[in-house]
Chains A and B, each alone.
Chain A
C-alpha cells in the first residue's frame, strides 16, 4: 500500500446495512514501512518511495542566459510561496452503477467528466474489447476536475464487483469517503529569485516550482506542465530558468482541479510582483505596467504573442471599475484609526486554453452531428455537462453554424456507444476546441445537403427539414464528422519545453478589496472586480456564471479551505470542518469582459472555465498586506495564521517568522 485510502478489498451486498457487519468481521494486518508525508521529506530522499529519486516528473524551461542577469541587476528579489491542497467539493459525491453480462460486457453509468477515460480504464482493467465496455455520463452534480480521473477508479471497483456477482452494483461515496480518498488540488511550493533593473524591469530570474503529487503519478505530470508554463505570469522575461518537479508522498494522489497547476504558480508570481514593487519602491500597479507582455514579445516558452492584447488597457479598466486609486488613498487614511483595516490588491494573469503543447494533437478529437428526418439536429460529442453550460453552448454553436433555431438542436447524452471520442471535458477546451470542430461538422451537414441538390444555399428551417427528410429517404442516415487538425504553424518541442504552449491565452486583471478585523483576525472580501479577455463571449449569462463561481472557489482557496493532514490522511474530511464559502461569505463579484477575436475557437471563443480560479487568491493576499502591512506567503490564510503573525513576539525567543504564516 502506498497511501492510507488505497483500496484493498471490495465488498458488496444487496442490503447496504449488512455491509457494516461484514466490514466489522474483517481485520487487516499491516506491516508499517517508512513513509513520506511532505515535499521536503520527499526531496530529502532519505526514504525512497518512488523510482530512484521520489520524482514523478520534472521540467526545465530555459530562455536566454539566466545566469548572466545577476551582474546587471539593481535589485535581486527572492521569495518563497506556498499553496495548500484544496478539495473540489462538488456537492454530489462520486457515484456509479455497473452491470455485467457475458454478451454485452460491462456498462457503467456515473457522475463523471470524461466518458472515454473511464472506457479506456475499464477495457484495461477487465480485459474487454472496445465494444464490450459502455460508459454513460449521467447528470453530474459538479466536478471541477474532481471527476476527471477518480471515476475510473470507482467505476473499476463497481465493474469488478458486477462481474464477480453477476448483479448490478451501485457505489456512492458518502462525503467523508469522497473527501478522504479522491483527488485534490496539488499543494505547491514556488521559489522566485528575480533580477530587476533600477526602474523595475524584470531582467530575468530563476523560478523553482514543486508540487506534491501524492502516492501515484496520475495527472501530476500534466498539472506540473501547466503550472510550469504559467509560472512567469503575463510578463516579459528576457531570460529565465524554470525548474519544476512533481514529488511523491504517501498521501492519496492529488489531481485535477480547475486551473490545474496555474493557480499555484500564479499565486507565487502575483505575490512576488508586489514584493518586487516594494523593493524597487514603485506601486503594485506600476511594476506590472512596466513588465506586461506585449504583442510580438515571447513568453517564457518563447511563444510569440500574436494576439492584439493590451494588458495596460485591461489594467486601466480594472482600476477604474474598482475605483482603485480613490480607495487606496481613502483606506490609507482610514486605517490610521480603528481595528478594521481595509486593503485593496490586484492580480494580473493569463490562462492557456486547451491542452498544453502537443496535447490536442494526441487527443485527435472527433466530433459528430446527426440530422433526423424531422429536420432536428443532434450534437454527438463526449463532452460532458456538469454545470458549465456545455450543452447550451454547443447546441448554440451548432444552431448558428446551420442557421437553424436553437430549439431544433439537441445534444446526445454522452454514451460511448452513441458519441465519438471528442476528448475529455477538461482544460477549458470545450467551447474553443470541441466547439470549433462542431462548427465544421455542422457545416458538413449543410454541404452534404447542398452538394446533393436537396438544399439551396439560402434556406428556411422548413426547407432544411424537407431536405433532411428527402436525403434520409434516399440514404438512410445523415451524419457529419470533423476531426482535429493541428494548425500548421504551431511549433512545440516536448523535450526542451519550448514553443507554442497553447493555441490561445485568456487574459485578466482582478481587483480584491478586503477588511481585516483585528479583534477576530478574520478577513472578509468586500468587493471583487473580475475583468477578463476571453475572446468572443458565446453566452453572457453562462460566461458570467463561470467567473463568479471560479472567484468564489478561489476565495475559498485563499481564505477558508484548509486540508488538515495527519500521517498522510485528511482528518477534516467533513463539510463541518473543511469550510467552503457560503452565501454570506462572498462579496459582490462584478464581472466584465473585453472581447478580442480568436481564430482557433468557435466564433472566436477562447477557454473560460478555469481562468477565474487563478487570480483571486494573490489579489486577496495582496490586499491583506495592503491593509495591515504584513507579508503572507502561504494560503489558505486563516484567522489562526493572522493571529500567529500579529501577536507580540514572545520574549527571549526569535520572533515568529512571517514568511509562512503557521502553515
Chain B
C-alpha cells in the first residue's frame, strides 16, 4: 500500500512531535506513519491496514484523532503531532493505564496505542461519556481480540477515576 516515492526530490518538512520541533527531508507524499516509524523511530503507531480502517496508526494531529497512514507528510508542515510515546505525561494516562490493566483491555496489544489515543481524545472532549459515546468514540479503532467489552469498561473506569 505504500505509495512509491519514486525519484521526485525530497522536501524539507518542519513540525512538532510530542512537543519537540522536528525538521527532516521527506518526499511530500510519504505517509506520516512511515516518517514517524522509520525516520523518527517512533514505532508506537502500528500499520494494520494502510487504508484508514483499523486505527492502529492513530495519532493526534493538532488535537484531532487521525490515521497517520492516510496523512501525507507535506500536510503536517507546521502542525503539532502527539504519538503514544509522547502522551505518557498526559493527565489521563495514568488512570487509563490502570484501568486497561485492571479490565484486561489489551490482549495482543497491537491496537492498544491507537485505542489509548482514541480514549484520550474522547475523554478530553467528554470527561464522563455514556456507553454509547464510548462505543462511538472508539469506532475508528478495530480490536480483534477483546470483543471491545473490556475496553469499554476501562474507558468508563478511567473516566470515573478522573472524576473523583
Residue positions of A touching B, CB distance < 8 A: 16-17, 20, 88-93, 139-144, 174-176, 386-389, 541-542, 544-545, 548-553, 574-576, 580-584, 586, 588-589
Q: Is B146 an interface position by the 8 A CB rule? A: yes
Q: A91-B142, A541-B150 are in contact. List 14 more A-B contacts (CB 8 A).
A: A89-B144, A90-B108, A91-B143, A92-B108, A141-B110, A143-B108, A175-B48, A176-B1, A387-B107, A542-B104, A545-B107, A548-B150, A575-B54, A584-B139
Q: How far is the CA of A386 from the CA of B104 in the complex (A)?
A: 14
Given contacts A139-B109, A141-B110, A386-B108, contact A545 B48 (CB under 8 A): no
Cβ contacts B102-130/A at 8 Å (1 or 0 each) = 11100111110000000000000000000
Q: How far is the CA of A389 from the CA of B141 in the complex (A)?
A: 22
- Interface stretch (choices B2-10, B16-24, B76-84): B2-10
- The winner among A88, A91, A542, A575 for most chain B CB atoms within 10 A is A91
Q: Which of B51, B109, B146 contacts A576 (CB under 8 A)?
A: B51
Cβ B51 vs Cβ A574 within 8 A: yes
Given contacts A17-B6, A388-B107, A583-B148, contact A175 B50 (CB under 8 A): yes
Q: Is B68 an interface position by the 8 A CB rule? A: no
Chain B nearest Cβ from A575, distance in angstroms: 4
Chain B residues near A17: list those with CB within 8 A. 2, 4-6
Chain B residues near A389: list those with CB within 8 A. 104, 107
Cβ B49 vs Cβ A175 within 8 A: yes
Q: Which of B4, B51, B108, B149 contacts A575 (CB under 8 A)?
A: B51
Q: Is B138 an interface position by the 8 A CB rule? A: yes
Q: How far is the CA of A581 from the CA of B141 in the complex (A)?
A: 11
Chain A residues near B136: list those with CB within 8 A. 583-584
Residue ID in chain B nearest A541 by CB atoms: B104
- 18 of the cross-chain contacts (CB-CB < 8 Å) are A17-B4, A17-B5, A90-B144, A91-B48, A91-B108, A174-B47, A175-B49, A387-B145, A389-B107, A541-B102, A541-B103, A550-B147, A553-B144, A553-B147, A581-B147, A583-B135, A583-B139, A586-B149
Chain A nearest Cβ from B104, distance in angstroms: 4
Chain B residues near A551: list those with CB within 8 A. 147
Chain B nearest Cβ from A555, distance in angstroms: 8
Chain A residues near B56: list those with CB within 8 A. 91
Chain B residues near A388: list those with CB within 8 A. 107
Chain B residues near A20: list those with CB within 8 A. 4
Residue ID in chain B nearest A547 by CB atoms: B147
Q: How far is the CA of A387 from the CA of B145 in the complex (A)?
A: 7
How many residues from B make CB contacts under 8 Å with A? 39
Chain B residues near A88: list those with CB within 8 A. 144
Chain B residues near A142: list those with CB within 8 A. 107-108, 110, 144-145
What is the interface of chain B mostly: helix, strand, loop, or mixed? loop
* 3 nearest A-B residue pairs (beta carbon): A141-B110, A387-B108, A552-B147
Q: Is B15 an interface position by the 8 A CB rule? A: no
Cβ B111 vs Cβ A576 within 8 A: no
Cβ B144 vs Cβ A580 within 8 A: yes
Cβ B104 vs Cβ A175 within 8 A: no
Chain B residues near A576: list those with CB within 8 A. 51, 53
Q: Which of B138, B144, B152 contacts A91 (CB under 8 A)?
A: B144
Cβ A92 vs Cβ B46 within 8 A: yes
Q: How far is the CA of A20 from the CA of B5 in the complex (A)?
A: 11
Chain A nearest Cβ from B126, distance in angstroms: 15
Chain A nearest Cβ from B54, distance in angstroms: 6
Chain A residues near B159: list those with CB within 8 A. none
Given contacts A20-B4, A175-B1, contact A545 B46 (CB under 8 A): no
Cβ B149 vs Cβ A588 within 8 A: yes
Chain B residues near A574: list those with CB within 8 A. 49, 51, 53
Chain B residues near A91: list those with CB within 8 A. 46, 48, 54, 56, 108, 110-111, 142-144
Chain B residues near A589: list those with CB within 8 A. 147, 149
What is the interface of chain A mostly: helix, strand, loop, or mixed? loop
Q: How far is the CA of A551 from the CA of B145 in the complex (A)?
A: 10
Chain A nearest Cβ from B115, distance in angstroms: 9
Chain B nearest Cβ from A511, distance in angstroms: 16
Chain A residues near B47: list those with CB within 8 A. 93, 174
Q: Which of A139, A140, A144, A583 contacts B144 (CB under 8 A)?
A: A144
Chain A residues near B150: list those with CB within 8 A. 541, 544-545, 548
Cβ B148 vs Cβ A586 within 8 A: yes
Chain A residues near B147: list those with CB within 8 A. 545, 548-553, 581, 586, 589
Cβ contacts B1-43/A at 8 Å (1 or 0 each) = 1101110000000000000000000000000000000000000
Q: Is B151 an interface position by the 8 A CB rule? A: yes
Cβ B50 vs Cβ A545 within 8 A: no
Q: How far is the CA of A346 from the CA of B107 in the complex (A)?
A: 28
Chain B residues near A581: list those with CB within 8 A. 147-148
Chain B nearest Cβ from A290, distance in angstroms: 33
Chain A residues near B54: list those with CB within 8 A. 91, 575
Chain B nearest Cβ from A517, distance in angstroms: 18
Cβ B138 vs Cβ A141 within 8 A: no
Chain A residues near B139: list those with CB within 8 A. 582-584
Given contacts A575-B142, A583-B141, contact A544 B51 (CB under 8 A): no
Chain B nearest Cβ from A387, distance in angstroms: 3
Q: How far is the CA of A90 from the CA of B110 in the complex (A)?
A: 9
Cβ B146 vs Cβ A545 within 8 A: yes
Chain B nearest Cβ from A182, distance in angstroms: 14
Residue ID in chain A nearest B108 by CB atoms: A387
Chain A residues near B46: list those with CB within 8 A. 91-92, 141
Chain B nearest Cβ from A576, distance in angstroms: 6
Q: How far is the CA of A551 from the CA of B147 in the complex (A)?
A: 7
Q: How far is the CA of A553 from the CA of B110 in the complex (A)?
A: 17
Q: How far is the CA of A552 from the CA of B151 in the complex (A)?
A: 13
Q: How far is the CA of A586 from the CA of B150 in the complex (A)?
A: 12
Given contacts A583-B151, A588-B149, contact A16 B51 (CB under 8 A): no
Residue ID in chain A nearest B131 by CB atoms: A588
Q: How far is the CA of A582 from the CA of B53 in the complex (A)?
A: 10
Chain A residues near B110: list those with CB within 8 A. 90-92, 141-142
Q: Which of B48, B102, B108 contacts A140 (CB under 8 A)?
A: B108
